[in-house]
Amino acid sequence: MTEEEKIEKVEKSKVKPITVVSSIVIIMVIALTFFSVLIYGFGVQSNLIKTVTRPVPLPLASVGGFNFITIREVEENLMSVKKFYESQDFASIGVRIDFTTEEGKKRLKVKERDVINKMIEDEAIENLAKERGIVITKKMVEESVERKIKEIGSGEGVDENLMQLYGWTIEDFEHKVVMPGIYKTELEKNVLGNDLKDNTQKAKDSIEKIQKRLNEGEDFSEIVSQNSSENDEKRNGSLGWFEKEQLNQDLQEKVFSLGKGEISDIIESDLGFHIVKVIDKKIEDEKEMIEIAQIFVSKKTFGEWLEDEMKKMEIRVFVKGYRWNKEEAICEFDE
């Protein structure tokens, strides 16, 4: 064998690096395809599958076409929820949280569905806000973080508390809580000032006509009966007894400041417009309670508007075990 032939034989026996890399890539693609079939086709979720697929942003759902929510993001948020519940002491109210039992696993699955719905809603809100030219600046985020820290009481130990309760850093808190909250607030202001402005004005005009009738001496109970269901009429319009905290937040102070038999001015809440009459008052278990009747004219809320918009969106859920209910605009179990 000549020297040239020996060299050629050695060269052929060498494994080229590009061949090794190509083989590894092919194996990874095959493995990823196999695990994807298990996840999407059969709903299999083992620790091994989660470990292998964690670096890959496999989509769990899409909102508006190509805005994806990944399996990894849902898993991270679910673990934060799980960590929060496990860090709480519910013994005083006779509740024990244990996600390792069969009942606990079912409860955690419900939490996972809730997490998916919250993430889809947040993504939908952000998309709608951006379509309207709403921009969230770094300053807005910083100011919101400061306000939320003040609500807690002090900035000291916030980092530790977030990590202990949710496994979050401040950056996680900004991304998962603060920014979605700002987008929602800004979009709501935009919608109420534009899309729902006429609807709100019509409701206001209607309640003002009713107030005029009251001012002219028409009986409150008579007006209530004209605007109530049969069951309400049987109770003479009474909504029942309430503690202060049980009322809508917009009603609490104004209604509890009224005396027995007094009628409020028009009160606007996020639900609509109210005129409330205090039928009776009492102290029970050292707590002040009132019995009330009301005349109520609803207005279309931001929540209702958002639900209508989400029904129009192209939203898909890809993993087995869940489905997107377009009629209700909600992710639900596919049973």
Q: Facing residues of 242 across strands?
A: 290
Rounded-to-5 percentages of helix, strand, coil across the chain: 55, 15, 25
List of residues 6+ apart from 331 with CB closer than 8 A: 61, 113, 116, 117, 120, 317, 322, 323, 324, 325
- Measure the CA–CA gap between 43 and 35, rounded to whole angstroms: 10
The number of folded domains in the chain is 2
Can you give the residue range of the structural domain that contains 132? 71-195
Q: Quick one: 174 and 216 in the same domain? A: no
The answer to whether the CB of 199 falls within 8 A of the CB of 298 is no
Is position 306 within any domain?
Answer: no
- Measure the CA–CA gap between 224 and 295, rounded to whole angstroms: 6
List of residues 6+ apart from 38 with CB closer than 8 A: 44, 49
**CATH code for position 214:** 3.10.50
Is position 210 within any domain?
Answer: yes
Sign for the CA dihedral angle at 171, 172, 178, 184 comes to positive
Instruction: Encode the chain (335 residues) as per-residue pLDDT tens digits.
Output: 565 555 555 455 555 555 545 554 454 444 445 445 445 554 555 565 455 555 667 889 999 888 999 998 999 999 999 999 888 876 565 666 788 899 999 999 999 999 999 999 999 999 999 999 999 999 999 999 888 877 766 666 788 888 988 999 989 999 999 999 999 999 999 999 999 999 999 999 999 999 999 999 999 988 888 765 444 444 456 789 999 999 999 999 999 999 999 999 999 999 999 999 999 999 998 899 999 999 999 999 999 999 999 999 999 999 889 999 999 999 999 87
Which token pair is 123?
């993504």
Q: Quick one: 184 and 95 in the same domain? A: yes
- Measure the CA–CA gap between 54 and 73, rounded to whole angstroms: 10
Q: Quick one: 97 and 171 in the same domain? A: yes
- Measure the CA–CA gap between 79 and 71, rounded to whole angstroms: 12
Q: Quick one: 121 and 175 in the same domain? A: yes
Q: Quick one: 124 and 138 in the same domain? A: yes
- Radius of gyration of the chain from its Cα atoms, rounded to whole angstroms: 29
Q: Quick one: 81 and 190 in the same domain? A: yes
Is position 66 within any domain?
Answer: no
